[in-house]
Amino acid sequence: MKINKPITLSAFAGSLLFAAILTGCSSKEEKTKQDAKVTDSLPAPPSFLLRKGILSSTLHIPGELVSFQQVDLYAKVNSFVKKIYVDVGSEVNEGQLLATMEAPEINSQLASGESKLQSYEALYQASKATYDRLLETSKTPGTISPNELELALAKQNSDLAELNAAKAANQEITDNKNYLEIRAPFQGVITSRNVSAGAYVGPSGKGSDLPLFSLNQQNKLRLQAAIPADYTAYLHNKSAINFTVNGIAGKQFTAKIARSSGALDNRLRAENIEMDVDNTNKKLLPGMVAEISIPMFSQDSTFVVPSTAVVSSTEKTFVIKKQDGKAQWVSVRKGRSAYDSTEIYGALSVGDRLVIKGSEEIRDGSAIQ
């Protein structure tokens, strides 16, 4: 008995250990089944019926105001500034005289050209008179040979060609003299003046590197902006826009899209647009930065859903559709977003039921109570 007693206690302990193991395994299996049941059947998340609508949004982008026309005025010929009639800030009209220059050699060239012109004019008149007399005399048979008449005609034509060449050369000198007067090509404001009386000027790089004047038209401005490629389809010429500038607080201005480039910029991948801005009161200045608000209206209805319904994962962008009691991930492409709503495009139909708050935790194919 003393020998069998330890054996009985050991066997009893082994039985208890085996029973504990069986109980633990049974508990784990039951817990795994319960977790799988919870995973396969999720509580019904809030959902909505898919409908089509038109999303209206507003695009806010920066822009820049520039002069409608601007030009740098240079001297056409090498000369000296004789007199200046305007200064920075002067408002000028089209054709107004801004400055005069002097170049004594041009006057000498003009006098020489006029003398040559008179000389060739006299030669031509003489040869023409000779030909006319010979032509009249040749009407009497045997008086003038045909060869002599042809030579007289050739001399007249030669003198006429030389006369025309002298007229062209003289006109060129006259045009150069007219360049000694600098006039405004359009109405605007002188924004810079880089010379004074007595300065030696000429074409760019000859006499002066800087222009004589810079002229900007300010009663009409251009508002320039770059529209990202995703929004170009919503823009049309004559679309009205609003904009503000930091320099004039509390004031909103309006304009209409007048021109668009029709192509995307290679660097920004955006389309450049321009709006004409009336600035008769001169409140706006070229160079101001504007904050532009462009209303964007869809031409056709699209699927519009709450922004929370769209899930963007590392794999794809999708919405969760309830189909036959199960969750179905449907790949979509996002459009514009505004006011907590987003446009989507995908294999969906009107009346589909989608989950309002999508999440990757709702697995594709999982059951929904």
pLDDT in tens, 183-224: 999 999 999 999 899 888 887 655 567 889 999 999 999 999
Same domain for 253 and 307, yes or no, is no
The pTM is what?
A: 0.59
Same domain for 118 and 191, yes or no, is yes
Measured distance between the N- and C-terminal CA atoms of the chain, rounded to whole angstroms = 65
Q: Identify the pLDDT of residue 39.
A: 44
Write down which residue in 274, 297, 320 finishes a domain.
297
Same domain for 189 and 222, yes or no, is no
Write down which residue in 143, 172, 201 finishes a domain.
201
Q: Identify the pLDDT of residue 208.
A: 66
- 231 close to 296: Cβ distance less than 8 angstroms: yes
- 364 close to 55: Cβ distance less than 8 angstroms: no
Same domain for 307 and 264, yes or no, is no
Same domain for 109 and 197, yes or no, is yes
Q: Which residue has the tokens 């998340």?
A: 45
Tokens encoding 206: 């000859």
- 217 close to 276: Cβ distance less than 8 angstroms: no
Q: Where in the sequence is the domain holding 293, given as residue range(s)?
A: 60-68+216-297
SS3 244: strand
pLDDT under 70: residue ranges of the chain: 1-43, 204-208, 237, 297-300, 369
Burial of 38 by CB count in 10 Å (0-12 exposed, 13-18 middle, 19+ buried)?
A: exposed
* CATH number of the domain enclosing 263: 2.40.30.170
Write down which residue in 170, 201, 232 finishes a domain.
201
Domain count for the chain: 3
For the chain, give percent helix, strand, coil, nearest 5. 30, 40, 30
Helices and strands in the chain, H and E counts: 3, 24
The bridge status of strand 188-193 relative to strand 220-228 is unpaired
**HSE of 80, CA atoms in CB hemisphere, 13 A:** 7
